Structure 1
Amino acid sequence: MLHRIWLGFFLIAFASALFQWLVAGDAEVFQRMVASLFDMAGLAVQLAIGLIGLMALWLGVVAIGEASGLVDKLARLLSPLFVRLMPDVPRGHPAISSMTLNLSANVLGLDNAATPLGIKAMKDLQELNPNPTVASNAQILFLVLNTSSVTLFPVTVLLYRAQMGAPDPAAVFIPILIATSCSTLAGLLVTAWVQRINLRDTVVLACLGGGFALLLALVGWFSTLTASELQRQSSLLSNLLIISLIILFLVVAHRRAVNVYETFIEGAKQGFETAIGIIPYLLAMLVAIGVFRASGALELVLEVLRAGVGGLGFDTRWVEAMPTALMKPLSGSGARAMMIDTMNTYGVDSFQGRLAATMQGSTETTFYTLAVYFGAVGIRHARHALACGLVADAAGITAAIVVAYWFYT
């Protein structure tokens, strides 16, 4: 799938450039495309190098959190909920622990840790699957929760905003939290409706009700604030939560006689390797998107959408961030590159730049996750997994647009 998307960017860009040259008389379009190739190649390396320190810092902190045992406690805390949402999975089955750890990693924004844990969870669920080529209800629900999982700390988005020069990288934290919560709720509700899951169970209602009440309280509090005070309080809460988590990990790990310094160093080494490893992927997507934009193809697509939205009498600024939303279900690296391109074009703290960041953090890559997780266990028939995942995506993107107008205007 991804290689076709990547190839399609170049082929469509070339066709658009030929149109610009032969029909519109723009003979400089190819010069812009070549210049974009070099500019985006430099930007990819610049971003990756800047991420080395930031990624090493976060993974070092996470290593301390794992050594403290807090991550494992979070897994045990969520276990009773999964037993009720997935009645086909016996209590105490290894899949419960694997799924909990995977979703916990997603909550903490640990993309690289979440993927291998998710594959392990899918393999554990496959042991209970009576038809190995067809996705079970438990596997589908796990996939939908995974692709729409609430991200408490959207570390990747915050890191890229910092690297792009945002004075307050965490300013998008609360909007992302609201948007991704809507995505998760929509995914859970539609999957429960299809699978006839009893959401009226006491434990399920307590967990969902508690989370929803907390979200409503947060939204209610922010609704009483002025626009300037809203941004200030959002920034304060975001940064306070992040630094509090770091301090909590350090203190608990120290009390358990963990050498926090050595543990941090070992985790930071993984961060260095991760940052270096993403250069080829970031480079590939950025140059393809850069050529696509320079050829005029992206502007043509957006112009059609903009004309339709404007014709209905609505504000069209959100259209500029739609490339991130359109790419998100297909490719995480592609959506990330679209987000970077939007921030680079309009400014990291522009309305469009902040909306693109909110969209990036609102949901996950449904097609990619489905292909990787189901492919790892040989499932060929996804049943209603894709449809439920796309419903969650649509809810997250819609919520991102609404909350962006609330917070950023």
Structure 2
Amino acid sequence: MVLSRFWLVIFISSIVFVVFSLFSGDSYTIDHILNGKKDDPILITEKYIDQIPAFIKDSIILAPDQVMIVDVDKSNADTTYVFKNKTVKIYSGVQKSDGLLATCKSSLVDIIIPLIAYLAFFCGLMELLIISGVSGKLAKVLSPVFVKVFPSIPKNHPSISYMTLNFAANFLGLDSAATPFGLKAMESLQELNPDKDRASDAQIMFLCLHASGLTLIATSIIGYRAAAGSTNPADVMLPCIITSFIGTIAAFIIVGIKQKINFKSASLVLGLITLIGAIIGLLLYVNQLDLIGKNYFTSNLSGLILLAIIGFTLIYAFRKEKLFAEAKTTVFDAFVVGANNGVKTGVTIFPYVLGMLAAISLFRNSGLFDIISNGLAFVFSNFGVNKQIIDALPVALLRPFSSAGSRGFLIDSMNTFGADSLTGRLSSIFQCSAESTFYVIAVYFGSVNIKDTRYALGAMLIIDLICVITAIFVATWFF
């Protein structure tokens, strides 16, 4: 219900604002909001050639293609005059994201189709893990900890192994693997859910922990920083880990209090200590490497672990062929069955993703997001907040709505202010230490047709806020 109302508010308020801007004269056209593409120039007005300044008129007429560009500025879009069919169209600024109709297309072509491919592959592997017995053994080993975090889940339940693989993939920055494992976990948890239309406690806890974004190897962030010319692209690793770890602990505490979980459990404390120890150990190892060593290690660790998981799954399945024969199938046929299930899941979640991304597209292109962002920046500046922090806030504000959008702001902030500036580094931490909350809710709850998400959205937004505040403190402390 909360998500539905929020979606309606975004959509309706954006439409009202677009119409108001058009008739008040603030906007010249709404075509770009519907049909435009990201980074396309925005048409701001159209005039007859006699209505424009003489020096511009002369330059346009003399130009071979009858196009003139003025106000060349690397940090802003140029103003472009295009003379065609007796009128001069004037463009200024660029579109922040794809228009509504373009988003509908790209959500299928650029998001769902690749996601279906990932789902098919990893769901195929998971089918092998199930039949070969690996998932059951993994669930048995981790049950003492998981049943404390998820009291409603029986010991040795398959969802435990799926959640473990999801957390591990997130931990290593393997987004393409994390989503299939996570969706499989949601399906497994849905089997235990007595009210199929309403999110269970276990599903909410899992999703909040997933969305808190605990990441050890921020491979993509390091890559963006390297491309932007950072002298030490991996220097945000530790701040990212600290921020995302605090976000994860906050998620566990916030949801745990709501669900009345026993925080004093010995197995829970032991599991937490083990996790902290693993993080510290890896950090100590990485910190003693030189720059090239850090880049080499971070760029290869995640990939090697992913290949190890795939290789282990296939080899173990080969060794347990008897189990597949008993199930009246083969290893390859079982993989195909799992892959087919992954495809079906991808088709199921498409409408949820489409609806959410369409609303976000309209929200961004309408100008409402800019008004909110600029308003917050004004408020923070009056409170004496460092301007470098304010310049990074658009990444934090957009991150819950759109990963691609916030990534665009991240790259822009590094190009504008420098990858090694406080703004560039803080933007990197913002991008790394949280998830796209609305996208995650739409995909994960949509995959199991949950209609009532209960307090999941509110909890996740609070966690996002905690991550933002933590990132600011950590960044100013380190840099």
Q: TM-score, normalised by structure 1?
A: 0.68
For residues 8 and 231 of structure 2, the distance between their equivalents in structure 1, rounded to whole angstroms, comes to: 34
1:331 pairs with one of 387, 395, 402: 402
Q: Report the CA distance between 1:177 and its aligned residue.
A: 0.7
Q: Report the CA distance between 1:95 and its aligned residue.
A: 1.0
Whether contact under 8 Å (1:89, 1:128) holds in the other structure is yes
Q: 2:206 is matched by which residue type in structure 1?
A: F
Q: How many residues of Structure 1 are paired with residues of Structure 2 in the alignment?
A: 345
Q: 1:81 is matched by which residue type in structure 2?
A: V
Task: Tell me the alpha carbon deviations over residues 226-281 of structure 1, each in whole angstroms, 9 at most, x when there is no partner.
Answer: xxxx99989976765655666788899999998xxxxxxxxxxxxxxxxxxxxxxx
Alpha carbons of structure 1 residues 159 and 201: separation in structure 2 relative to 1, 3 Å = same
Residue aligning to 1:359? 430
Q: 1:130 is matched by which residue type in structure 2?
A: P
Q: Report the CA distance between 1:114 and its aligned residue.
A: 1.3
For residues 336 and 39 of structure 1, the distance between their equivalents in structure 2, rounded to whole angstroms, comes to: 12
Alpha carbons of structure 1 residues 35 and 388: separation in structure 2 relative to 1, 3 Å = same
Q: Report the CA distance between 1:323 and its aligned residue.
A: 1.1
Q: 1:205 is matched by which residue type in structure 2?
A: V
Whether contact under 8 Å (1:171, 1:235) holds in the other structure is no
Q: 1:362 is matched by which residue type in structure 2?
A: S
Residue aligning to 1:264? none
Whether contact under 8 Å (1:149, 1:184) holds in the other structure is yes
1:371 pairs with one of 428, 442, 446: 442
1:138 pairs with one of 202, 220, 227: 202
Residue aligning to 1:318? 389
1:178 pairs with one of 222, 242, 248: 242
For residues 265 and 393 of structure 2, the distance between their equivalents in structure 1, rounded to whole angstroms, comes to: 38
Q: Report the CA distance between 1:155 and its aligned residue.
A: 2.1
Question: Residue 435 of structure 2: SS of its match in structure 1?
Answer: coil
Stretch moving more, 397-406 or 76-85: 76-85
Q: Report the CA distance between 1:306 and its aligned residue.
A: 3.4
Over the matched positions of the two proteins, sequence identity in percent amounts to 33
For residues 252 and 447 of structure 2, the distance between their equivalents in structure 1, rounded to whole angstroms, comes to: 23
Whether contact under 8 Å (2:95, 2:365) holds in the other structure is no
Q: Is residue 398 from structure 1 mapped to residue 462 from structure 2 by the alignment? A: no
For residues 259 and 276 of structure 2, the distance between their equivalents in structure 1, rounded to whole angstroms, comes to: 22
Whether contact under 8 Å (2:389, 2:426) holds in the other structure is yes
For residues 469 and 410 of structure 2, the distance between their equivalents in structure 1, rounded to whole angstroms, comes to: 17
Question: Residue 349 of structure 1: SS of its match in structure 2?
Answer: coil
Q: Map 1:7-406; keep pairs closer than 5 Å.
A: 8=14, 15=21, 18-19=25-26, 31=79, 34=91, 36-37=93-94, 78-212=142-276, 240=297, 298=370, 301-406=372-477
Q: Report the CA distance between 1:79 and its aligned residue.
A: 5.0
Q: Report the CA distance between 1:136 and its aligned residue.
A: 0.7
For residues 288 and 422 of structure 2, the distance between their equivalents in structure 1, rounded to whole angstroms, comes to: 13
Q: Report the CA distance between 1:328 and its aligned residue.
A: 1.2
Alpha carbons of structure 1 residues 233 and 351: separation in structure 2 relative to 1, 3 Å = farther
Whether contact under 8 Å (1:328, 1:364) holds in the other structure is yes
Alpha carbons of structure 1 residues 84 and 127: separation in structure 2 relative to 1, 3 Å = same
Alpha carbons of structure 1 residues 353 and 187: separation in structure 2 relative to 1, 3 Å = same
Q: Report the CA distance between 1:314 and its aligned residue.
A: 3.2
Judging by fraction of residues, say which structure has more helix: 1
Q: Report the CA distance between 1:82 and its aligned residue.
A: 1.6
Q: Report the CA distance between 1:338 and its aligned residue.
A: 2.2
Q: Report the CA distance between 1:193 and its aligned residue.
A: 0.3
- Structure 2: unaligned runs, 5 residues or longer: 1-6, 29-42, 46-78, 81-89, 99-117, 316-357
Q: 2:248 is matched by which residue type in structure 1?
A: T
Q: Report the CA distance between 1:324 and its aligned residue.
A: 1.1
Alpha carbons of structure 1 residues 246 and 139: separation in structure 2 relative to 1, 3 Å = closer
For residues 457 and 411 of structure 2, the distance between their equivalents in structure 1, rounded to whole angstroms, comes to: 27
For residues 317 and 9 of structure 1, the distance between their equivalents in structure 2, rounded to whole angstroms, comes to: 33
Whether contact under 8 Å (2:228, 2:419) holds in the other structure is yes
Judging by fraction of residues, say which structure has more strand: 2
Q: 2:422 is matched by which residue type in structure 1?
A: F
Alpha carbons of structure 1 residues 195 and 290: separation in structure 2 relative to 1, 3 Å = closer
Stretch moving more, 335-344 or 136-145: 335-344
Whether contact under 8 Å (1:175, 1:403) holds in the other structure is yes
Alpha carbons of structure 1 residues 190 and 332: separation in structure 2 relative to 1, 3 Å = same
Whether contact under 8 Å (1:171, 1:231) holds in the other structure is no
Q: 1:113 is matched by which residue type in structure 2?
A: A
Q: TM-score, normalised by structure 2?
A: 0.59
For residues 129 and 192 of structure 1, the distance between their equivalents in structure 2, rounded to whole angstroms, comes to: 18
For residues 18 and 29 of structure 1, the distance between their equivalents in structure 2, rounded to whole angstroms, comes to: 10
Whether contact under 8 Å (2:426, 2:475) holds in the other structure is yes
For residues 9 and 176 of structure 1, the distance between their equivalents in structure 2, rounded to whole angstroms, comes to: 37
For residues 281 and 406 of structure 2, the distance between their equivalents in structure 1, rounded to whole angstroms, comes to: 31
Q: 1:345 is matched by which residue type in structure 2?
A: T
- Structure 1: unaligned runs, 5 residues or longer: 22-27, 42-58, 222-229, 259-283
Q: Report the CA distance between 1:111 and its aligned residue.
A: 1.2
For residues 204 and 195 of structure 1, the distance between their equivalents in structure 2, rounded to whole angstroms, comes to: 16
Whether contact under 8 Å (1:174, 1:234) holds in the other structure is no
